[in-house]
Amino acid sequence: MEYLPLFVDLKDRNCLVVGAGEVAARKAGLLLKANASVTIVAPELSAATQNLLDENKLTHLNTVFDETQLVGIFLVVAATDSEDINRRVYDHAKANNVLVNVADNTELCDFILPSILDRSPMIVAVSSGGKSPILARQLRARLETLIPPSYGNLATLVGRYRENVKAKLPTLAMRRRFWSDILQGRVADHVLAGRDKQAEQALNALLEQSKTDELQQGEVYLVGAGPGDPELLTFKALRLMQQADVVFYDRLVSKEVLDLVRREAEQIYVGKQREWHAVRQEEINQLLVTHAKLGKRVLRLKGGDPFIFGRGGEEIETLASEKISFQVVPGITAASGCSTYAGIPLTHRDYSQSCIFVTGQLKQGELDLNWSALVQTNQTVVVYMGLAGLPTLSHQLLEHGMPADTPAALVQQGTTAQQKVWVSTISELPSVAEREQPVAPTLVIIGHVVSLHNKLRWF
Ligand code: SAH
């Protein structure tokens, strides 16, 4: 290990920054964030350093660097354009036992400033030892997706209860078990969902060992898995996916997304098929309840967004009436994902001022839609579940006055490597489907924005 990571308390310690350009401003800003007392040495200030000065955050020595400025200094950063000056700062700092960092010159550094992920009081520092700051930043960005912003609140809560817990639980082993349960369980869930009061209640209950039954109740996460591309998941979806004990998923959830669910979680397929949908839904609702009552963290993973043609409302209604706690996480809905990946903007100043989502699911072979609302001009119509009823859809729209040459598209398996897009007109679309035989899931998009596909396709 070339460098030992240390977390240094810089509060009110004297730190010197030599130079006043952008890099110097960035480093001074970082030191100030840690409440150091910062002095900048430079004959001229850049706008960024001037700003810090204007905010009364630092002291400015309006002169060139000399050795005497190092007296009483804890650490110094050299970030001037001049190699000579930087080198002089380094030499003097060394001679005076002052910690030194020369920007962009690892050889002349006692310490390096890492890439920081700040979830105070939790702090993650990443460094490549000066070899590739970009790689360090990329790793930091990856960690950022794994560690939610409210993560620090967990540490704060633990900090506040440390002494209490110590008083109550005499052995280290007991305390370790206690905290490990807290940090992986319901209390952490509450904190990360912003429910501080419930978190504290649950923690107290657990500490008193009196309300353990209540604590043992499970929770359901109703999570939108997006249209297929796993990178379209939200941070929150991923976090909940990685702490589930059991997952119920259906046909629309892609394999790549499913691979991101916690490995130990039991996976249960509740795939839906058009015809026996209605019967099955009640069963699914009941399954969620049963598993939550066993104290499990139940993940209900749905394609797209759970509240857009996803029957998410019905599932949580059952949970609510059974008094089971739940969270809902929105997902990128097929309309948004497919249109974006097909290069078809849903609205456009020149072509479409509104957008309407409808279901094209047939009921006894019929489509019961408000046709006059769908044939308005300057509007985009997105039809979910519209493949089987496509001939009826096209026929009815034409009957109700939609111009036959209105552009229309089919997007099959949007956002995935199997995505296919067919562009045609509303009158021709059924014969295109007949010929090309698209497979589910396929989305229908109708409106003049579809004509932009040729120009804007990118995926
Ligand atoms: N809740 C989902 C929609 C469920 S209805 C959402 O918000 O996206 C199922 C319909 O969604 C399918 O019949 C199809 O029309 C559409 N759909 C879902 N994912 C799709 C995808 N990746 N590509 C094309 N259409 C998709």
> Domains of the chain by range and CATH?
14-113 (3.40.50.720), 150-215 (1.10.8), 219-332 (3.40.1010.10), 336-456 (3.30.950.10)
The helix (H) or strand (E) run that includes residue 328 is: strand 325-329
Amino acid at 301: L
Residue 443 CA to ligand 1 center (angstroms) comes to: 6
Amino acid at 152: G
Give how far Cα 93 sits from Cα of 6, 84, 276, Å.
Answer: 20, 14, 77
Provide CB contacts within 8 A for 78, sequence distance 6+. Answer: 18, 19, 65, 85, 86, 89, 90, 100, 101, 102, 103, 108
304 CB within 6 A, ligand 1: yes
Query: What's the pLDDT score for residue 72?
Result: 96
Query: What's the pLDDT score for residue 264?
Result: 86
Query: What's the pLDDT score for residue 273?
Result: 53
Q: Does residue 272 carry a catalytic annotation?
A: yes
User: CA-to-CA distance for 298 and 303, rounded, in angstroms?
Assistant: 16
C-alpha of 322 from chain center: 30
Give how far Cα 158 sits from Cα of 52, 71, 142, 355, Å.
Answer: 35, 40, 25, 48
User: CA-to-CA distance for 206 and 209, rounded, in angstroms?
Assistant: 5
Strand, helix or coil for residue 426:
coil
Query: What's the pLDDT score for residue 217?
Result: 67
**74, two tokens:** 């804890």
Query: What's the pLDDT score for residue 215?
Result: 43
Query: What's the pLDDT score for residue 214?
Result: 45
Query: What's the pLDDT score for residue 174?
Result: 74
Query: What's the pLDDT score for residue 359?
Result: 97
338 CB within 6 A, ligand 1: yes
Q: Which residues pair with 299 in a beta bridge?
A: 221, 247
- pLDDT in single tens digits along all 459 residues of the chain: 889 999 999 999 999 999 999 999 999 999 999 999 999 999 989 998 898 888 888 999 999 999 999 999 999 999 999 999 999 999 999 999 999 999 999 999 999 999 999 999 999 999 998 889 899 989 999 999 888 888 999 999 999 999 988 888 887 767 876 887 788 778 998 998 899 999 999 898 888 863 444 445 688 999 999 999 999 999 999 989 988 889 999 889 999 999 999 988 999 999 865 555 545 888 999 999 999 988 788 999 999 999 999 999 999 999 999 999 999 999 999 999 999 999 999 999 999 999 999 999 999 889 999 999 999 999 999 999 999 999 999 999 999 999 999 999 999 999 999 999 999 999 999 999 999 999 999 999 999 999 999 999 999
Query: Taking a C-beta distance cutoff of 8 angstroms, is the pair 237, 289 a contact?
Result: no
- The count of other CB atoms within 10 Å of the CB of residue 28 is 27
The residue contributing the CA closest to ligand 1 atom 13 is 385
Strands of the sheet with 420-425, listed across from one edge:
354-359, 379-384, 442-446, 407-412, 420-425
Query: What's the pLDDT score for residue 59?
Result: 94
Model's pTM, two decimal places?
0.72
Q: Which of 27, 189, 229, 250 is catalytic?
A: 250
Residue 253 CA to ligand 1 center (angstroms) comes to: 10
| Atom number, ligand 1, closest to the C-alpha of residue 312 | 1
| Atom number, ligand 1, closest to the C-alpha of residue 384 | 15
User: CA-to-CA distance for 223 and 301, rounded, in angstroms?
Assistant: 5
Query: What's the pLDDT score for residue 213?
Result: 47
Query: What's the pLDDT score for residue 91?
Result: 97
Q: Does residue 84 carry a catalytic annotation?
A: no
Give how far Cα 191 sits from Cα of 40, 156, 159, 196, 198, Å.
Answer: 41, 10, 14, 5, 8
DSSP 8-state assignment for residue 317:
H
User: CA-to-CA distance for 327 and 100, rounded, in angstroms?
Assistant: 49
Query: What's the pLDDT score for residue 222?
Result: 97
- The count of other CB atoms within 10 Å of the CB of residue 279 is 8
Strand, helix or coil for residue 359:
strand
441 CB within 6 A, ligand 1: yes
The residue contributing the CA closest to ligand 1 atom 11 is 384
